[in-house]
Structure 1
Amino acid sequence: MASSQFFFIAIVAFLVPSILAKDFLVDYHGWTLGKEFHGGDQLVFSYRQGDHNVLKVNGTDFHQCVAPAGIELFTSGNDVITLPTPREKWYICGVDDHCKAGDQKLVITVLAQTVSPTAPPTSRERKSIAPKYYNWMMAIFGILTMVWC
C-alpha cells in the first residue's frame, strides 16, 4: 500500500495527513483551515516516488483535475516548493485518478509576508544572567562546600 505525506515548513512545520492509495479519505481543504501561508514559506510534498506526483496547475485545471501539457511537474518524492508571491496556488496529483477519485488536490492562499525575517542577535546583543550572578553563585557554592565538608 503506497502512502504519501505532505509537510508545510515555515517557523512551525505542519504535517498534512497521509494519503493511502486505496483509501482516499484525506480532507486537504480541512487541513488548510486555520493555517496561514506567507511569501517565502515552503511546501514539502513527501511521498513514495512513483506512487504519486505533484502538478502545479491553475484554478480551472484544479477543479477539473486536468493536467495540461507544459505545467510544472514534481516527481522526486520529496518536492520542495517555495511560495514566493501572494495569490492562490493549486496543486494536484496527476497519477491515475488520484485527483478525481481520491480528491488528492490542494489549494492554498499565499499571503504577503507580514514581518521580514530578523537576523539572530550578535554576541554583543545576547544577554546572559551568568555574569551578573556569577560571583554570588560561586560564593554560595563555596560556603555550601565548606559546610558539608
Structure 2
Amino acid sequence: MGEGRGSALVVVVAILCLLAITQPTFAAIHNVGNRGGWTFNVNSWTRGKSFRAGDILAFNYARNAHNVVAVNRRGYATCSAPRGAKVYQSGRDRIRLNKGQSFFICTLPGHCQSGMKIAINAA
C-alpha cells in the first residue's frame, strides 16, 4: 500500500514540475479598427501592433454593409479576391491567425480602395 502512495506522489510532483516550467500562452483578441470597427481607412490600424500565430482578429461591422475576405498578397495589392477566397459576412467575424502573413479586404465596390484592408505578419 505504501508503494502506491509513493508512485502517485511522484506522478503528482512530475505534473507540478511540468506545469511550473511551461508558460501558458493565451491568444490575444485584436478588435480590428479598435472602437470604430472594420471600416474605411483601417489599413493603418496594424501599425505598432504585434501579432502572434493563434491570435484572433475580431472584425465588427454592420452586416450587409461590408464583408471580410481573406486574400493573398496580390489580392491585397489589387483589391480583388481570387477564386475560392474565404468570404466572411456575419458582422462579427472571428479569424484565428496563422504564422506568417495574412491579408484581408472588403470586396464591396470601392471599399478596399478606400483603405478597408489590412496586412498582418504573425510571429
Q: TM-score, normalised by structure 1?
A: 0.58
> Mind listing any 5+ residue stretches in structure 2 that lack a counterpart?
1-26
Q: Which amino acid aligns with 1:107?
A: A
2 CA distance for matches of 1:97 and 1:89? 21
- 1:98 pairs, out of 111, 116, 119, with 111
1:72 aligns with 2:86: yes
User: Structure 1 residues 33 and 50 mapped into 2: Cα distance closer, same or farther (>3 Å)?
Assistant: same
Aligned residues: 96
Kept in 1, the 8 Å contact 2:37–2:59? The answer is no
Kept in 1, the 8 Å contact 2:106–2:116? The answer is yes
Q: Which has the higher contact order (CA 8 A, sep 6+)?
A: 2
1:43 aligns with 2:57: yes
Higher strand share: 1
**Over aligned residue pairs, what C-alpha RMSD do you find?**
2.2
Bigger-Rg structure (1/2): 1
Higher helix share: 2
1 CA distance for matches of 2:79 and 2:31? 25
Q: TM-score, normalised by structure 2?
A: 0.69
CA shift, 1:69, in A, is 2.1
Kept in 1, the 8 Å contact 2:68–2:87? The answer is yes
> Mind listing any 5+ residue stretches in structure 1 that lack a counterpart?
1-8, 112-149
1:10 aligns to what? 28
2 CA distance for matches of 1:34 and 1:45? 19
Kept in 1, the 8 Å contact 2:32–2:60? The answer is no
Q: How does 1:1-149 map to 2 (within 5 A)?
A: 10=28, 13-14=30-31, 16-17=33-34, 18=36, 24=40, 26-29=41-44, 31-83=45-97, 85-100=98-113, 102-111=114-123
SS at match of 1:28: coil
Q: Which amino acid aligns with 1:103?
A: G
CA shift, 1:74, in A, is 0.2
